[in-house]
Chains A and B, each alone.
Chain A
């Protein structure tokens, strides 16, 4: 039986096409997926992301525990009100999951993927043993992402809460039983809001009233891909490291004595150089890129880990895992034909504009 978020009825009322997704019934789209994409790029859209996994970490050793299980270093969070993105690694340096860690007053909050819940929740529990910490999964909360150039203004109009506008990128605050963070997965400005389940539908209604467009999983996927953001299970998983996944920036090597899970394997790979990289691909002919398509340079070969038609750019884009030496022009096997493309450094789009060279 698939799970339903507190917003299930609201989705159905808004005309959503509900699809099974990571054990949940989620909205794929409400009408046109492309229109939802543009609404987020040009104005404001909202996503129900209540299916994601939320774990509160408290106790005297909360920071020490997170410094052990997350490859980024929560010690970099100057105080409550800051967040960071990082990877949970296995001993081989493979990416078990990618997470955002929010530092709140007296505790941390970890938001991880829906699809990895059954893997990550026990993973963290098992490693918490030696630490004086308490882990608590927050299934009592709902989560909404409000994204787009108008997101902050409309969120404030809908809720009367002014806190959001005072947050810098990747800042977070608590306002009563709400958590408001200036984070997202679209490459646009906006907030992600965690509220008690019962508050989700009134918030959704108020946001609708303020002109925020409902957006589904389909638009979420094209937005994140344009923004060059990885999707766990496609662009990286436990078989590849952050160094092979365009995530080297999320690994905190200093201080060298911090012994996070996977550090040994990552350091070895760093010394010898990782054979592969994850990079962006732009299709220079008409058509659509899809996950799994073969990519070739004159000397190297790889595969698309994600692919789509970019509504903002009007062309096919994708992410590909290729040998580290791969540069420049590529040929992509598109439905039996060899099409012209090239390697670019992601992201493709930031704040509504093309950003790659």
Chain B
């Protein structure tokens, strides 16, 4: 089973969020999400100083299989983005809760974090999602479905 650190909170769209000491909310995608997506090859991050609403589209993570929109877990302003991902998008796979972070938001209202899931709830959420569609990426993915990209084989 994938790893869900207990100090983080999680969105149903598989982002994690952490309130740092500086008051900003750091955002990434979960271990479950990176595992379902497969090798990440391209990350599109929001522009600095952009205002985002909770659950608003803020970026895209693309893997070999599919593109997945990233949603801001809380309302606020983008105050940092992880530039390292431009040359090393695979950090999202290798270290989703560390060097593979995506961006940081200065939150308008910290209490929005309380609307997100704790680690235990999120782990159950992933498990039921995995049961429901036999491990498929599903709502995580709005790009090509697997069967579509590999519908027919060849010599």
Contact = CB atoms under 8 A, between A and B. Distances in A.
A218 B154 contact: no
B131 interface: no
Most buried by A among B60, B62, B86, B90: B62
Interface in A279-334: 286-288, 290-292, 308-309, 311
A287 to B, nearest CB: 6
Contacts of B90: 34
Interface in B53-81: 60, 62, 64-65, 67
B90 to A, nearest CB: 8
B140 to A, nearest CB: 15
Nearest to B153: A114
A114 B152 CA distance: 7
B154 A33 contact: no
A115 B90 CA distance: 32
A35 to B, nearest CB: 8
B149 interface: yes
B39 interface: yes
B64 A287 contact: no
Contact of A291 (B44, B149, B154): B149
Contacts of B144: 290-292
Interface in A196-231: 217-218, 221-222, 224, 229-231
Most buried by B among A116, A217, A286: A286
B152 to A, nearest CB: 3
Interface stretch (A20-28, A161-169, A345-353): A20-28
Contact of B38 (A29, A112, A335): A29
Contact of A234 (B39, B65, B135, B151): B151
A52 B152 CA distance: 10
A124 interface: no
A217 B154 CA distance: 11
Contact of B154 (A28, A113, A286): A113
Interface string B26-68: 0000000000001101101000000000000000101011010
Contact of A51 (B41, B151, B153): B153
Contact of A98 (B150, B151, B155): B155
B60 A231 contact: no
Contacts of B39: 32-34
A233 B60 CA distance: 28
Contact of A221 (B38, B42, B44, B150): B150
A349 B64 CA distance: 18
A151 interface: no
A115 B146 contact: no
Contacts of A28: 146, 150
Interface in A98-114: 98-100, 111-114
Interface residues of A, number: 46
Given A217-B150, A286-B86, A99 B42 contact: no
Contacts of B65: 218
A49 B153 contact: yes
A155 interface: no
B31 to A, nearest CB: 15
Nearest to A316: B42
Nearest to A224: B154
Nearest to B146: A19
A260 interface: no
B152 A115 contact: yes
Contacts of B44: 287
A218 B64 contact: yes
Contacts of B151: 22, 115, 233-234
A218 B147 CA distance: 11
B48 to A, nearest CB: 18
Contacts of B143: 290
B155 A21 contact: no
7 contacts: A28-B146, A32-B39, A33-B39, A49-B153, A51-B153, A290-B149, A291-B148
Interface of B: 38-39, 41-42, 44, 60, 62, 64-65, 67, 86, 90, 93, 135, 143-144, 146-155
Interface of A: 17, 19-22, 28-29, 32-34, 49, 51-52, 85, 98-100, 111-116, 183, 185, 217-218, 221-222, 224, 229-234, 286-288, 290-292, 308-309, 311, 335
